[in-house]
Structure 1
Amino acid sequence: MAEAFVGTWNLKESKNFDDYMKALGVGFATRQVGGMTKPTTIITMEGEIITLKTVSTFKTISLVTIDGGKLVHVQKWDGKETTLVREVSGNTLTLTLTLGDVVCTRSYVKAE
């Protein structure tokens, strides 16, 4: 099941990302840059180990677990918690970011 996630994914579409960043407490200037950034997500698998990297000119992050065929990343800091859930359908990867009642979805298409 995890093999479906393996590949390089380029951001195609993003919905409600500015509101999500506001809920995170991200300042205006950083939100402007973040909104223009088109990250690439690279997922590899070696045996039981999955590596996920989200790469952009702005920031690079990694760390993930698998739950029910979905890649789940929970971040906690300063009393806040956000969940990033990635799901694959065909050549589309959907990233759902949730912080409290703010939900953002970002759609990626698999690079050829």
Structure 2
Amino acid sequence: PSLPSLLCEWKLTSSQNFILVRTIQKLGSLAKPSVVISINGDIITIKTEKFEETTADNRKTMSTVTLDDGSLTQVQKWDGKQTTIKRALVDGKMVVECTMNNVTCTRV
């Protein structure tokens, strides 16, 4: 998919293995985040780049987001640990894969 097809607001509709990653990360399994992706000329905005982030479970992370082959990949790093969150458009739905310690959860 091209970047323009990602430009809209996305709401969580399903989740798989999220509780496994939650155990590792202590994430809130009830969170239903929205992701807003927009573009203005040559500027893509999803409140990303390299930035400090306080997660829902109060971790202070340094995050970076890259766009590769139509997928947005966010890497969160803190205390020598790392989480990778990949967002891709699949059959008209935003599919989010979150990986930590070789455990991956999938959210749609």
- TM-score bracket for this pair, using the shorter chain length: 0.7 to 0.9
2:38 and 2:64 mapped to 1: Cα distance? 12
Cα distance, 1:73 vs. partner? 0.6
Tell me the amino acid that sits aligned with residue 85 of structure 2: L
Check conservation: 2:64, 2:75, Cα contact below 8 A: no
User: Which structure has greater helix proportion?
Assistant: 1
Unaligned runs of 5+ in 1: 108-112
> Which structure carries more relative contact order (alpha carbon 8 Å, separation 6+)?
1
Q: CA RMSD, aligned part only? A: 2.0
Cα distance, 1:50 vs. partner? 1.9
Q: Output one character per residue of 1:54-78: Cα deviation in whole Å (capped at 9) or x when no partner.
A: xxxx95xx86320121111111111
**Bigger shift: 34-43 or 95-104?**
34-43
1:82 and 1:49 mapped to 2: Cα distance? 26
Aligned-pair identity (%): 37
TM-score under structure 1 length normalisation: 0.73
1:2 and 1:72 mapped to 2: Cα distance? 13
How many positions carry a matched residue from both structures?
94
Q: Could you say which residue in structure 1 is the equivalent of 2:33?
A: 39
- Superposed structure 1 runs of 4+ greater than 4 Å apart: none
Unaligned runs of 5+ in 2: 48-54, 57-62
Q: Could you say which residue in structure 2 is the equivalent of 1:23?
A: 24
1:97 and 1:10 mapped to 2: Cα distance? 16
TM-score under structure 2 length normalisation: 0.76
Tell me the amino acid that sits aligned with residue 73 of structure 1: Q
